[in-house]
Amino acid sequence: MITVYDAVGGKLVTRPEIGNLSTGGVWIDLLNPAEDEDKIIEQALGIEVPTRSEMLQTVALQNAAPITRRPSPRTTAGGAARAPGARRPIRRAASL
């Protein structure tokens, strides 16, 4: 499921429809996304959305090795990614 949030009056407001991802939208949330939803995000923003397997592997590596430098601002252990030069974080998560 893709949820897009816009900033309206200093608050995050959920878009009723995905609409044009290249305009507005300060946060894009992917909750158990289908493969076609990953592709929509990848094409609209020109990024590669990590798979669940890749995210779990990243988390395992981060937990196994001591941190010697700051994490990259482009990805996080929780699966958030940021397109180069973009201001919109994207979070991919599994439902609880």
**Sign, CA torsion 68/58/47/20:** negative
Structure tokens given for 37: 């939803």
Task: Specify the pTM.
Answer: 0.56
Mean pLDDT (the chain, rounded): 74
Average pLDDT over residues 52-69: 71
Mean pLDDT over 52-75 rounds to 66
What is the reported pLDDT for 16?
87
Pairing of the two strands 27-31 and 11-14: unpaired
pLDDT(31) > 70 = yes
pLDDT at position 76: 45
Rg for the chain, CA atoms, rounded: 14
In whole angstroms, give the CA distance from residue 25 to residue 15: 8
Which parts of 9-96 are beta strand (E)?
Answer: 11-14, 27-31, 81-82, 89-93
User: Which of 53 and 94 is assigned the larger pLDDT?
Assistant: 53
DSSP structural state of residue 71? P
